[in-house]
Amino acid sequence: MQYPEPIAKLIDSYMRLPGIGRKTAIRLAYFTVTMNKDDVSMFANALKETKQLLKYCSICGDLTDENPCAICQDGQRNQSELLVVEQPKDVMVMENMKNYHGLYHVLHGVLSPMDGKGPEELNIKSLLKRLQSNENIKEVIVATNATPEGEATAMYLAKLIKPAGIKVTRLAHGLSVGSDIEYADEMTLSRAVSGRTEM
Protein backbone atom coordinates (compact mmCIF):
# COMPACT_ATOMS: atom_id res chain seq x y z
CA MET A 1 0.00 0.00 0.00
CA GLN A 2 1.32 3.42 -0.94
CA TYR A 3 1.08 6.59 1.12
CA PRO A 4 -1.14 9.36 -0.25
CA GLU A 5 1.06 11.64 -2.40
CA PRO A 6 1.08 14.65 0.00
CA ILE A 7 2.23 12.42 2.89
CA ALA A 8 4.82 10.68 0.69
CA LYS A 9 6.25 14.12 -0.25
CA LEU A 10 6.31 15.17 3.39
CA ILE A 11 8.10 11.93 4.38
CA ASP A 12 10.69 12.54 1.64
CA SER A 13 11.15 16.12 2.85
CA TYR A 14 11.75 15.05 6.46
CA MET A 15 14.22 12.37 5.30
CA ARG A 16 16.42 15.13 3.83
CA LEU A 17 17.16 16.33 7.36
CA PRO A 18 20.32 14.92 8.98
CA GLY A 19 19.75 12.01 11.34
CA ILE A 20 16.17 11.43 10.20
CA GLY A 21 15.55 7.93 8.90
CA ARG A 22 12.42 6.61 7.21
CA LYS A 23 10.59 5.56 10.39
CA THR A 24 11.18 8.92 12.10
CA ALA A 25 10.18 10.76 8.91
CA ILE A 26 6.91 8.81 8.80
CA ARG A 27 6.21 9.64 12.46
CA LEU A 28 6.95 13.34 11.87
CA ALA A 29 4.81 13.44 8.73
CA TYR A 30 1.79 11.94 10.50
CA PHE A 31 2.34 14.24 13.48
CA THR A 32 2.42 17.24 11.13
CA VAL A 33 -0.88 16.13 9.58
CA THR A 34 -2.52 16.14 13.05
CA MET A 35 -1.28 19.67 13.88
CA ASN A 36 -3.85 22.46 13.67
CA LYS A 37 -3.67 24.81 10.66
CA ASP A 38 -2.26 27.76 12.64
CA ASP A 39 0.63 25.69 13.99
CA VAL A 40 1.40 24.32 10.52
CA SER A 41 1.35 27.86 9.06
CA MET A 42 3.61 29.12 11.85
CA PHE A 43 6.02 26.22 11.24
CA ALA A 44 6.07 26.79 7.47
CA ASN A 45 6.55 30.56 7.92
CA ALA A 46 9.43 30.00 10.35
CA LEU A 47 11.16 27.81 7.73
CA LYS A 48 10.63 30.41 4.98
CA GLU A 49 11.73 33.37 7.12
CA THR A 50 14.83 31.53 8.32
CA LYS A 51 15.88 30.88 4.73
CA GLN A 52 15.03 34.43 3.57
CA LEU A 53 16.36 36.52 6.47
CA LEU A 54 19.55 34.72 7.54
CA LYS A 55 22.88 35.36 5.82
CA TYR A 56 26.53 34.79 6.60
CA CYS A 57 28.46 37.51 8.44
CA SER A 58 30.96 39.09 6.04
CA ILE A 59 33.63 39.07 8.78
CA CYS A 60 33.37 35.77 10.65
CA GLY A 61 31.06 33.66 8.48
CA ASP A 62 28.51 32.97 11.24
CA LEU A 63 24.78 32.94 10.50
CA THR A 64 23.17 36.27 11.25
CA ASP A 65 20.20 38.48 10.46
CA GLU A 66 22.43 41.59 10.45
CA ASN A 67 25.79 42.21 8.82
CA PRO A 68 28.23 42.24 10.50
CA CYS A 69 26.89 39.94 13.22
CA ALA A 70 26.34 41.07 16.81
CA ILE A 71 29.53 39.34 18.02
CA CYS A 72 31.74 41.04 15.42
CA GLN A 73 30.13 44.40 16.30
CA ASP A 74 30.67 43.96 20.05
CA GLY A 75 33.65 46.10 21.07
CA GLN A 76 33.59 44.60 24.59
CA ARG A 77 34.79 41.19 23.33
CA ASN A 78 38.43 40.14 23.67
CA GLN A 79 39.87 41.28 20.33
CA SER A 80 43.11 39.33 20.79
CA GLU A 81 41.55 35.82 20.63
CA LEU A 82 39.96 34.23 17.59
CA LEU A 83 38.26 30.84 17.96
CA VAL A 84 37.93 28.88 14.71
CA VAL A 85 34.98 26.47 14.49
CA GLU A 86 33.61 24.14 11.83
CA GLN A 87 29.97 25.26 11.67
CA PRO A 88 27.73 28.17 12.80
CA LYS A 89 26.03 25.89 15.36
CA ASP A 90 29.44 25.55 17.10
CA VAL A 91 29.44 29.29 17.80
CA MET A 92 26.20 28.96 19.77
CA VAL A 93 27.56 25.99 21.72
CA MET A 94 30.58 28.06 22.77
CA GLU A 95 28.45 31.12 23.56
CA ASN A 96 26.07 29.08 25.73
CA MET A 97 29.09 27.97 27.77
CA LYS A 98 29.56 31.67 28.74
CA ASN A 99 33.29 31.14 29.34
CA TYR A 100 34.75 32.43 26.07
CA HIS A 101 34.61 36.14 25.28
CA GLY A 102 36.75 36.47 22.16
CA LEU A 103 35.95 36.52 18.45
CA TYR A 104 34.98 33.66 16.10
CA HIS A 105 35.64 32.45 12.58
CA VAL A 106 33.46 29.77 10.94
CA LEU A 107 35.08 27.47 8.38
CA HIS A 108 31.84 25.90 7.07
CA GLY A 109 33.30 22.41 7.14
CA VAL A 110 36.62 20.61 7.38
CA LEU A 111 39.16 19.31 4.92
CA SER A 112 37.79 16.09 3.49
CA PRO A 113 39.17 14.93 0.13
CA MET A 114 36.71 12.01 0.13
CA ASP A 115 33.82 14.51 0.16
CA GLY A 116 35.53 16.86 -2.29
CA LYS A 117 36.25 19.48 0.37
CA GLY A 118 39.63 21.12 -0.06
CA PRO A 119 40.93 24.44 1.29
CA GLU A 120 39.13 26.36 -1.49
CA GLU A 121 35.73 25.08 -0.34
CA LEU A 122 36.28 26.29 3.24
CA ASN A 123 36.24 29.81 4.67
CA ILE A 124 40.06 29.82 5.01
CA LYS A 125 41.02 32.59 2.58
CA SER A 126 38.95 35.15 4.52
CA LEU A 127 40.50 33.90 7.78
CA LEU A 128 44.01 34.59 6.49
CA LYS A 129 42.98 38.04 5.19
CA ARG A 130 41.41 38.79 8.54
CA LEU A 131 44.59 37.84 10.39
CA GLN A 132 46.72 39.96 8.05
CA SER A 133 44.52 43.03 8.43
CA ASN A 134 43.93 42.78 12.19
CA GLU A 135 47.04 43.27 14.33
CA ASN A 136 45.01 42.85 17.54
CA ILE A 137 44.63 39.07 17.09
CA LYS A 138 47.42 37.38 19.05
CA GLU A 139 46.01 33.85 19.38
CA VAL A 140 43.98 31.58 17.11
CA ILE A 141 42.23 28.77 18.98
CA VAL A 142 41.37 25.91 16.63
CA ALA A 143 38.17 24.23 17.81
CA THR A 144 37.54 21.69 15.07
CA ASN A 145 36.11 18.33 16.11
CA ALA A 146 38.41 15.50 17.24
CA THR A 147 37.89 13.55 14.01
CA PRO A 148 40.57 12.67 11.45
CA GLU A 149 39.22 15.48 9.22
CA GLY A 150 39.09 17.93 12.13
CA GLU A 151 42.66 17.07 13.08
CA ALA A 152 43.90 17.43 9.50
CA THR A 153 42.18 20.81 9.24
CA ALA A 154 43.71 21.97 12.55
CA MET A 155 47.21 20.99 11.42
CA TYR A 156 46.70 22.66 8.04
CA LEU A 157 45.58 25.90 9.70
CA ALA A 158 48.51 25.84 12.14
CA LYS A 159 50.97 25.52 9.23
CA LEU A 160 49.39 28.52 7.51
CA ILE A 161 49.07 30.77 10.57
CA LYS A 162 52.23 30.13 12.64
CA PRO A 163 54.67 31.76 10.18
CA ALA A 164 52.81 35.07 10.76
CA GLY A 165 53.93 34.95 14.41
CA ILE A 166 50.41 34.34 15.74
CA LYS A 167 50.04 31.80 18.53
CA VAL A 168 47.96 28.79 17.45
CA THR A 169 46.36 26.60 20.10
CA ARG A 170 43.97 23.66 20.02
CA LEU A 171 41.09 22.94 22.36
CA ALA A 172 42.11 20.33 24.92
CA HIS A 173 40.85 16.81 24.24
CA GLY A 174 40.78 13.96 26.68
CA LEU A 175 38.59 12.20 29.19
CA SER A 176 35.13 13.64 29.62
CA VAL A 177 33.71 14.27 33.08
CA GLY A 178 32.11 11.12 34.48
CA SER A 179 33.87 8.72 32.12
CA ASP A 180 35.87 5.66 33.17
CA ILE A 181 39.47 5.19 32.03
CA GLU A 182 38.83 1.54 31.18
CA TYR A 183 36.34 2.53 28.45
CA ALA A 184 38.45 5.27 26.84
CA ASP A 185 40.23 4.59 23.56
CA GLU A 186 44.01 4.95 23.22
CA MET A 187 43.89 8.29 21.38
CA THR A 188 41.63 9.84 24.04
CA LEU A 189 43.92 8.60 26.82
CA SER A 190 47.01 9.85 25.00
CA ARG A 191 45.45 13.30 24.62
CA ALA A 192 44.36 13.31 28.25
CA VAL A 193 47.93 12.58 29.38
CA SER A 194 49.58 15.13 27.10
CA GLY A 195 46.99 17.79 27.92
CA ARG A 196 47.18 17.27 31.67
CA THR A 197 47.12 20.32 33.96
CA GLU A 198 48.75 20.99 37.30
CA MET A 199 46.57 20.65 40.41
pLDDT value of residue 195: 73
Structural domains in the chain (count): 2
Structural domain including 95 reads 77-170
40 within a domain of the structure (yes/no): yes
Residues 87 and 164 in one domain: yes
Report whether 153 contacts 111 (CB < 8 A).
yes
29 and 83 share a domain?
no
pLDDT class for 4, splitting at 50, 70, 90?
Answer: very high
pTM over 0.85: no
Identity of residue 118: G
The reply to whether 48 and 83 lie within a common domain is no
Give the mean model confidence (pLDDT) for residues 6-29. 96
96/160 same-domain check? yes
Using one digit for the tens of pLDDT, what is the confidence trace for 29-60?
999 999 999 999 999 999 999 999 999 999 99
87 & 144 share domain: yes
Is 39 inside any structural domain? yes
- Check: CB of residue 91 under 8 Å from CB of residue 69: no
The percentage of residues in the chain with a pLDDT greater than 90, rounded to a whole number, is 78
Could you tell me which residues come within 8 angstroms of residue 118 by beta carbon, excluding any fewer than 6 positions away? 111
Q: What is the pLDDT of residue 41?
A: 96
Looking at the domain assignment, is residue 138 inside a domain? yes
**Is 137 part of any domain?**
yes
Amino acid 76: pLDDT: 97
Rg (CA), the chain: 21
CATH number for the domain harbouring residue 44: 1.10.8.420
3 state SS of 126: helix
Please write the tens of the pLDDT for every residue from 132-164.
Answer: 999 999 999 999 988 889 999 999 999 999 999
Whether residue 188 lies inside any domain: the answer is no
- My answer on whether 20 and 94 are in the same domain is no
Instruction: Write the pLDDT tens digit of every residue in 85-112.
Output: 999 999 999 999 888 999 999 999 999 9
